[in-house]
Amino acid sequence: MKKGYFSDFGGVFVPETLMPALVELEAAFESARKDDAFLAGLESEFKSFVGRPTPITFAPRLSEELGCELYFKREDLCHSGAHKINNALGQALLAKKMGKKRVIAETGAGQHGVAVATAAARLGLEAEIFMGEVDMERQKPNVFRMKLHGAKVTPVSSGSKTLKDAVNECLREWTSSVRTTHYLLGSALGPHPYPEMVAFFQSVIGREARKQFAESPGGLPDVVVACVGGGSNSIGIFKGFLDEASVRLVGVEAGGRGIESGLHAARFSDAKKGRVGVLHGTKSFVLQDTDGQIAETHSVSAGLDYPAVGPEHAALRESGRARYDYATDTEALAAFKLLSEKEGILPALESSHALAWVVKHASELADKRVLVNLSGRGDKDVFHVANELGERID
């Protein structure tokens, strides 16, 4: 396999001016991943700051209702509310090791921005978060959280003033500040070495889960299910089970208002618009119109609302090792309510997509041991859900 590629996906599609930064980063990452002191520092932060290992929770009432043995990996219990902190801390520690004083990051809904601001405050790094003007208006509480952690939030007013414009702005800013600055990218996307590096920092999820299951009386799960935005929580949990052929892996994309409606973020499931292309430095499946323009996307969950998917997932799908499917907004909202009512857990709307897939496929999962990655908690989503359900709470 070519370096930086997963099958024919991945690579480095960036302007020449960014190459030195990526080469420096790759070398630093390759050395850090083999450096016992670095890994011990990361483990110590995971334990004392993030609250790892996160538990596995058996869901007795839902298991009975669905007819399978249902378990959750509880990334919702991570400090700051989701798996994103694993990657933010990992890269922030790496930035420090590289002697950088500052991190920059893109954010859409603000979840990654909050994780970066949190990690930067913890480690004493300066943080600047680029965020589309439209997103800043939609996500005021997260903008304020970032500022509380001492981060600077810079509005992006180009293009559609949303996530993909914020990524472009970050890449531009990085070019001019690479000596002092690390670009802390938020998912298993972007040019090499990002997809591999983000997967490495998130692989703690799968490593823990595998150990937790291997030590349980029933052994490994039969099926592992995770939602797929850029693909970081899913690749993180998949890594723990990739070499166990008996464990089926399922990634669930945002079906939005349905594939036919065109309003979704299901890069793999829309056979017409989801085609191989290049976005933000990497080659993978990208939603595009017939002219190759990036298509509009929609999801009830902001974290899954992105037109491209991480390149390693494209390769896992091609090889058949993982299967990809989708859940719609309506199905995810129903799963959100179900888990809240039946198990006392408010899941993030993103994670609700993974559970929604299990609900929909309960008959083929009869008596199976099913592990769902609960990538984040739903506190951030309660106003949105109330709105969708037609209830007023403010």
Catalytic (active-site) positions = 84, 106, 375
- x/- site string to ligand PLP, residues 153 to 172, per CB under 6 A? --------------------
By CB under 6 A, residue 136 contacts ligand PLP: no
**Shortest separation between residue 91's beta carbon and ligand PLP, angstroms:** 14
Residue placing its CB nearer to ligand PLP in the complex, 178 or 241: 241
By CB under 6 A, residue 269 contacts ligand PLP: no
Rg (CA), the chain: 20
By CB under 6 A, residue 373 contacts ligand PLP: no
Structure tokens at 104: 């920059």
* Interacting span for ligand PLP (CB under 6 A) from 155-163, 213-221, 336-344, 347-355: 347-355
Separation CA 82–CA 205 (nearest Å): 12
> Residue 314: left if φ>0, alpha if ψ -120 to 50, beta else—which one?
alpha
**Residue of 228, 237, 249, 316 interacting with ligand PLP (CB under 6 A):** 228
Structure tokens at 145: 């959280």
Interhelix angle 19-32/84-97, nearest 10 degrees:
100
By CB under 6 A, residue 227 contacts ligand PLP: yes
By CB under 6 A, residue 232 contacts ligand PLP: yes
First to last CA, the chain: 54
Backbone angles phi, psi at 256, to 5 degrees: 50, -125
**Residue of 80, 91, 187, 297 interacting with ligand PLP (CB under 6 A):** 187
Interhelix angle 194-214/84-97, nearest 10 degrees:
120
**Shortest separation between residue 61's beta carbon and ligand PLP, angstroms:** 23
Residue placing its CB nearer to ligand PLP in the complex, 227 or 316: 227
Structure tokens at 229: 């935005």
Structure tokens at 340: 């809240």
By CB under 6 A, residue 77 contacts ligand PLP: no
Largest Cα–Cα distance in the chain?
A: 57
By CB under 6 A, residue 297 contacts ligand PLP: no
By CB under 6 A, residue 111 contacts ligand PLP: yes
By CB under 6 A, residue 84 contacts ligand PLP: yes
Residue 174: count of CB within 10 angstroms of its CB: 19
By CB under 6 A, residue 90 contacts ligand PLP: no
By CB under 6 A, residue 82 contacts ligand PLP: yes
**Shortest separation between residue 274's beta carbon and ligand PLP, angstroms:** 16
* Interacting span for ligand PLP (CB under 6 A) from 44-52, 158-166, 232-240, 275-283: 232-240
Beta strands in the chain (DSSP E): 5-6, 9-10, 56-58, 69-74, 102-107, 126-132, 152-156, 181-183, 223-227, 248-256, 274-279, 282-287, 322-328, 369-374
Which distant-in-sequence residues (6+ apart) come within 8 Å of 338 by Cβ? 62, 355, 359
Separation CA 332–CA 217 (nearest Å): 31
DSSP code of residue 293: P
By CB under 6 A, residue 327 contacts ligand PLP: no
By CB under 6 A, residue 203 contacts ligand PLP: no
Residue placing its CB nearer to ligand PLP in the complex, 69 or 191: 191
**Residue of 282, 297, 299, 351 interacting with ligand PLP (CB under 6 A):** 351
By CB under 6 A, residue 142 contacts ligand PLP: no
What's 201-270 look like in SS3? Answer: HHHHHHHHHHHHHHCCCCCCCCEEEEECCCCHHHHHHHCCCCCCCCCEEEEEEEEECCCCCCCCECCCCC
**Residue of 169, 305, 325, 350 interacting with ligand PLP (CB under 6 A):** 350
**Residue of 118, 139, 233, 282 interacting with ligand PLP (CB under 6 A):** 233
Residue 319: count of CB within 10 angstroms of its CB: 10
By CB under 6 A, residue 303 contacts ligand PLP: yes
Q: Residue 167 is which amino acid?
A: V
**Shortest separation between residue 362's beta carbon and ligand PLP, angstroms:** 22
By CB under 6 A, residue 229 contacts ligand PLP: yes
**Residue of 129, 259, 375, 385 interacting with ligand PLP (CB under 6 A):** 375
By CB under 6 A, residue 184 contacts ligand PLP: no
User: Which residue ranges make up the site for ligand PLP (CB under 6 A)?
Assistant: 82, 84, 111, 187, 227-234, 303-304, 348, 350-351, 375-376
